[in-house]
């Protein structure tokens, strides 16, 4: 059990150092700072800040946005927030050596077969043919 937690922490640490993570973070920060700068400039010039129209009560989303599949794996934090019992050994990911499930430590430079159960969290959209990439 402790080894599984250590593996999860290692995986999270590796994700932090992925190039894509840093690229997306930089892009998001640029957009955030540009928006803040624009708002401060408008305030300095005495211009009013943009506000929604008075007759708009909701955000209008195109149908293809809110009716998308929502692929997900077993999430301990979500279940704990719901007050449900959790396991830290993810039941949605299985590792096999041939036909036998692996229960101990993994061997370096060894090829394993991985089975991942991906659930659909959307109530409105089917998940048929949704692509899943493992890395």
Strand order in the sheet with 113-116: 100-101, 93-97, 113-116
Give me Rg for the CA atoms of the chain: 22
Q: What is the pLDDT of residue 128?
A: 81
Q: What is the pLDDT of residue 91?
A: 82
Per-residue confidence (pLDDT) for residue 31, from 0 to 100: 92
In this predicted model, what pLDDT tens digit does every residue of 32-88 receive, in sequence order? 999 899 888 888 888 877 676 666 667 777 766 667 788 888 778 888 888 888 877
Residues 6 or more apart whose CB falls under 8 angstroms from that of 87 comprise: 76
Query: Which of 108, 104, 114 is closest to 135 using CA atoms?
Result: 114
With 0.95 as the threshold, say if the pTM is over it: no
Segment 95-123, tens digit of pLDDT = 999 999 998 888 999 999 988 888 888 88
Residue 135 has pLDDT above 80, yes or no: no
- Closest listed residue to residue 68, CA positions, set 130, 112, 13, 3: 130
Domain ranges of the chain: 1-51
């Amino acid at each position: 059990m402790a080894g599984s937690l250590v593996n999860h922490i290692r995986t999270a640490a590796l994700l932090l150092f992925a190039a894509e993570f840093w690229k997306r973070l930089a892009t998001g920060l640029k957009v955030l700072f540009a928006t803040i700068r624009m708002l401060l400039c408008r305030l300095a010039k005495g211009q009013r800040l943009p506000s929604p129209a008075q007759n708009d009560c909701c955000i209008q989303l195109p149908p293809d946005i809110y009716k998308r599949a929502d692929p997900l794996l077993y999430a301990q934090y979500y279940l704990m927030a719901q007050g449900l019992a959790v396991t830290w050994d993810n039941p949605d990911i299985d590792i096999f050596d041939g036909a036998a499930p692996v229960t101990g430590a993994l061997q370096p430079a060894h090829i394993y077969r991985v089975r991942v159960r991906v659930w659909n969290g959307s109530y409105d959209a089917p998940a048929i043919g949704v692509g899943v990439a493992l890395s």
